[in-house]
Structure 1
């Protein structure tokens, strides 16, 4: 495509895709070519057949998203030159007002995109979609995905670790009770993954939103909850984002913030619970990628995972384990369940 193999940059770091940046003859910008990595575990529900279709349908409706170019037999996304928001302002740090305001504006634009207004193929069947405004049904489908596609589907490999950490089927019954009773709200398009690494700041200070592969239609308050959970704003800025979000979405789609005072804590609780199952699997698998697993590595992994488990004790109805408990569980799983290629265990 580029006409100069040496000019191609990549593969870039990323969990889900192998990505290359490609300069095309006659083009003033560079383009992004990527392919899903084989054999990956997927922890999030997907509702559209193609991220490129979504981006194509959103051109002119959502500001600051990548352009597309057709290069047979595929379409490429424009590579946004700049720094991620996370590279400039790490997790937990404040976001400057100019960029903060652009995030608020994005939420307003998303609230205007209704389920019947986007020409992009959806992979979920009509029977698997919650009815318009049925926020409880929308959340139940997310809980069910976590239960079946993350927990149950990986049981054959992680059952012992799940049990040692008290993650059992009853955890999902507890979670459903904890998040029940949501207020109906009009559905709109959700990005569903708005964190610091999915925002890119260009040289002019413009904020671009990338990685739309988890986009879906559903409860607008879920997008805010996911954003707050992933961004780790300072407390006062989190309150301000919530206030600005409510003002903005109500201005363009009345009813979008209905019941937020009681429902936002419930959706944040779901995000904390969801992260437990994702992080247990990812932490365990990360050990298998190390050249050597020793006590120091196990303690570090156990400490990080213990914080995630502690944050979700209430919605999952489990007791908070100690770092020692988690570390012992990881060590037991690793040396009992994991055999590297060639059949030799690491020391």
Structure 2
């Protein structure tokens, strides 16, 4: 923080670590802390969170690289590894999910901001970004990128103890949920890689009083197929049909010609992947949430949501997959598999 007395960032971390907060994501806790120069956001890594997503860089490393290239990203003030935390500039305003919950139309300013973010990300030069790992797919190797996504889902499917495996089986999640995608992955059009945010949804956008939108949570940003960023975004946004068309058209307008080769067919591939991945991941997440509450209404709601995820994934599995489960059957399976003594 420029000017004045130096900030003791470790002290900010220690203040944040003792506080309860509702600003908690899957991989980080986010705590607003007041300083003499105004509020900051202390972002503390959750050590217990299982990796359910690809990661390409450390978030701090990426945010430092994005300074001057992506104005809609929050500023990084400090980063530490032990303890593992960051301090970001505090972005005032309201989360978009508070302004427009899932299923409701998005404000015009938000739609325009998302288009602007796509345009910016698609033009960030590779030279400005941190290097990728040695085994990361080469630029343009979209089949390799998709194969990496599928490998992650297969790894998640076979992770966990016997109770988790039993729950997958009880809910009809195939042993290899990616089998129908593997051949299609090799048929993806080759497009140049671009910077992807990888997690653009309503809770990761803040709109201030002037209508300016900031985009948070860059820990899942990737270097990869630009069509995947659109698919991931559409999957997570719970858009109205009208907003879905608007955002798809916005991406098409924003994308350079070389990024649009074969994009419509490949968008369907990635949307199917997201539906399939969602049920593999959320069988565990939602199952634990169902098992962890004594509220009957909450259990029913979560079981209904998980039933919807199973229904969305089923068309992408083989025809011999077990019969789809009703919410009450899902709840019973969770009790039987995850709550047994």
Scaled to the shorter chain, the TM-score interval is 0.7 to 0.9
Residue 147 of structure 2 is matched in structure 1 by 140
Residue 206 of structure 1 is matched in structure 2 by 212
SS at match of 2:33: strand
RMSD between aligned alpha carbons? 2.6
Q: Output aligned runs, 1:1-347, within 5 Å.
A: 1=11, 10-14=20-24, 15-25=26-36, 27=37, 29-48=38-57, 50-70=58-78, 75-118=86-129, 120=130, 122=132, 125-127=133-135, 129-148=136-155, 150-154=156-160, 156-250=162-256, 254-290=257-293, 292=294, 294=296, 297-317=298-318, 319=321, 321-324=323-326, 327-338=328-339
How many angstroms apart in 1 are the aligned matches of 2:110 and 2:251? 14
8 Å CA contact 2:167–2:337 kept in 1: the answer is no
Number of residues of Structure 1 aligned to a counterpart in Structure 2:
325
How many angstroms apart in 1 are the aligned matches of 2:206 and 2:178? 36
How many angstroms apart in 2 are the aligned matches of 1:333 and 1:247? 45
Structure 2: stretches of 5+ with no match in the other structure: 1-10
- TM-score w.r.t. the length of structure 2 is 0.86
8 Å CA contact 1:17–1:34 kept in 2: the answer is yes
- TM-score w.r.t. the length of structure 1 is 0.85
Structure 1 residue runs of 4 or more that deviate by more than 6 Å after TM superposition: 3-6, 71-74
Gap change, CA 1:169 and 1:75, over 3 Å in 2: closer
8 Å CA contact 2:188–2:266 kept in 1: the answer is yes
SS at match of 1:32: strand
8 Å CA contact 1:301–1:327 kept in 2: the answer is no
The Cα shift of 1:71 comes to 8.0
Any idea what the Cα deviations from partners look like across 1:35-66, whole Å, max 9, x if unmatched?
A: 22232222111111x21221111011002211
The Cα shift of 1:288 comes to 3.0
The Cα shift of 1:239 comes to 1.5
How many angstroms apart in 1 are the aligned matches of 2:338 and 2:180? 29
Gap change, CA 1:178 and 1:186, over 3 Å in 2: closer
Gap change, CA 1:2 and 1:186, over 3 Å in 2: closer
Any idea what the Cα deviations from partners look like across 1:202-242, whole Å, max 9, x if unmatched?
A: 12210000000001100001001111111122212211221
8 Å CA contact 1:68–1:78 kept in 2: the answer is yes
How many angstroms apart in 2 are the aligned matches of 1:22 and 1:235? 39
Residue 342 of structure 1 is matched in structure 2 by none
How many angstroms apart in 2 are the aligned matches of 1:3 and 1:228? 35
